[in-house]
Amino acid sequence: MSLIGTVLGWILTVFLVVMIVRMVVDWLAVARRGPLWVGRVRALAHAGTEPVVAPVRRLLPPLRAGGLGIDLAFTIVFILVLVLRTVAFNL
């Protein structure tokens, strides 16, 4: 295992955790539940992940089903980060 692969793997792990936090606080925002700090955490999570998700979203807009919107860009980035993380840790 190389040092570069390990460092890259940990960076991707931190990014993955921020994406999971974003997902959870987005669900809380949709449900309109949670304490006041949820809005601040949501803003931080979006600030950290939106530069990566936004270009993918331009290529693949959210899928609408009635009043429900499924962000396929977020899902694609999430899966891609999982794959890249596995590759990085195996370098």
What domain range includes position 34? 3-89
How many domains does one find in the chain? 1
Distance between CA 11 and CA 83 in Å, rounded?
13
Q: What is the pLDDT of residue 34?
A: 67
Q: What's residue 1's pLDDT?
A: 65
**pLDDT tens digits for the chain (91 residues)?**
688 989 999 999 999 999 999 999 888 877 776 677 788 888 899 999 999 999 999 999 888 888 777 889 999 999 999 999 999 998 8
Phi, psi of 68 (to 5 degrees): -100, 135
pLDDT number for residue 91:
84
**In Å, what is the CA distance from 65 to each residue of 25, 26, 71?**
21, 18, 11
Numbers of helices and strands, H then E, in the chain = 3, 2
pLDDT computed for residue 70 by the predictor: 81
